[in-house]
Chain A
Amino acid sequence: MGNFIGKAVKRREDARFLKGAGKYTDDIKLPKMTQSAFVRSPYAHAKVLSVDISEAEKADGVVAIFTGSDGCGEYGVPCGWQVDFKNGETMREPKHPLLVKDKIKHVGEAVAFVIAETLEQARDAAELVEVEYEELPVVTDPQKAMDKDAPLVHGEWKDNAAFDWCIGNDRADVEAALEKAHHVTEMEYRNQRLAPNAMEPRSYIADYDVNADKYTLYTSTQNPHLIRLLMCAFVLGIPEHKVRIVSKDVGGGFGSKIYHYTEEALLTWASKQIGRPVKWTSDRSEAFLTDAHGRDHVVKSKMGFDKEGKIVAHLTDEYCAMGAYLSTFAPAVPTYLHGTLFQGVYTTPLIHLNVVGPFTHTVPVDAYRGAGRPEATYLLERIISKGAQEMGMDAAEIRMKNFIPPFDGVKEEGYQTQVALQYDSGNYQQALKKGLEKLGYENFRKEQEEARKNGKLLGVGLSTYIEGCGIAPSAVVGALGARAGLYEVGQVRVQPTGKVSVFTGAHSHGQGHETVFAQFVADKLGIDMADVEIEHGDTDQVAFGMGTYGSRSLAVGGSAIIKSIEKILDKGAKIAAHKLEAAEGDLEYASGKWTVKGTDKSVSFGDVALTAYVPHNYPEGLEPGLDFSSFYDPSNFTYPFGTHIAVVEVDKDTGAVDLQRFIAIDDVGNIMNPMIVDGQIHGGVAQGVGQALLEEVVYDESGQMITGSYMDYAMPRADDLPMIETDNTVTPCPHNPLGVKGAGEAGAIGSTPAVVNAVVDALAHLGVTDIQMPLKPQTVWKAMQN
Chain B
Amino acid sequence: MNVTITVNGKAHTHDIEPRTSLVQYLRETLDLTGTHIGCDTSGCGACTVTLNGEAIKSCTMLAVQADGSEVTTIEGMAQNGEMHPIQAAFKEKHGLQCGFCTPGMVMVAADILKNYPKPSEDDIRHGLKGNFCRCTGYHNIVKSIQLAAETINE
Contact = CB atoms under 8 A, between A and B. Distances in A.
Interface string B10-48: 000000010100000001000111111111110110100
Nearest to B121: A723
A710 B83 CA distance: 32
Nearest to A662: B137
Given A10-B91, A120-B17, A510 B33 contact: no
A687 to B, nearest CB: 7
A17 B139 CA distance: 18
Interface string A109-122: 00000000000100
B74 A20 contact: yes
Contact of A709 (B43, B126, B134, B138): B43
B91 A14 contact: yes
A17 B99 contact: yes
A718 B128 contact: yes
B39 to A, nearest CB: 4
Contact of B99 (A22, A676, A687): A22
A251 B100 contact: yes
A718 B142 contact: yes
Given A251-B36, A718-B138, A719-B125, A679 B43 contact: no
Contacts of B126: 718-719
B140 A679 contact: yes
A616 interface: no
A698 to B, nearest CB: 17
A199 B101 contact: yes
B40 A709 contact: yes
Nearest to B41: A709
Interface string A166-187: 0000000000000000000000
A36 B72 CA distance: 30
Interface string A663-684: 0000000000001101100111
B114 interface: no
A509 interface: yes
A510 B129 contact: no
Contacts of B131: 717-718
A636 interface: no
B102 A686 contact: no
A683 B134 contact: yes
B107 to A, nearest CB: 10
Contact of A19 (B87, B129, B142): B87
Nearest to A709: B41
B137 A284 contact: no
Contact of A10 (B92, B102, B140): B92
A221 B105 CA distance: 24
B46 A679 contact: no
Contacts of B39: 284, 709-710
A20 B38 contact: no
Most buried by A among B73, B78, B100, B131: B100
A510 B101 contact: no
A254 B77 CA distance: 30
Interface in B70-117: 73-75, 77-78, 83, 87, 90-92, 94, 96-103, 106
A781 interface: no
Most buried by B among A24, A285, A682: A682
A35 B40 CA distance: 18
A199 B46 contact: yes
A6 B77 CA distance: 32
Nearest to A22: B99
B78 A19 contact: yes
A283 B121 CA distance: 33
A217 interface: no
Most buried by B among A283, A509, A710: A710
Nearest to B86: A18
Interface in A509-564: 509-512
B135 interface: yes
Contacts of A675: 94
Given A198-B98, A682-B137, A718 B129 contact: yes
B96 A18 contact: yes
A724 B124 CA distance: 16
B132 A17 contact: no
B100 A284 contact: no
Contacts of A26: 33, 37
A679 B97 CA distance: 8
Contacts of A318: none
Nearest to B24: A119
A306 interface: no
Contact of A683 (B31, B38, B83, B136): B136
A254 B97 CA distance: 12
A21 interface: yes
Contact of A718 (B75, B100, B141): B141
Contacts of A676: 94
A721 B126 CA distance: 11
Contacts of B98: 198-200, 250-252, 509-510
Given A200-B36, A251-B99, A284-B44, 5 more contacts: A22-B100, A24-B100, A199-B135, A200-B98, A718-B125
Closest 8 interchain pairs by CB? A20-B34, A251-B100, A710-B43, A17-B99, A510-B98, A686-B137, A20-B74, A510-B97
13 contacts: A23-B33, A26-B33, A29-B31, A201-B38, A281-B37, A284-B41, A510-B135, A512-B97, A709-B40, A718-B126, A719-B122, A721-B137, A724-B137
Interface of B: 17, 19, 27, 31-41, 43-44, 46, 73-75, 77-78, 83, 87, 90-92, 94, 96-103, 106, 121-122, 124-126, 128-129, 131-142
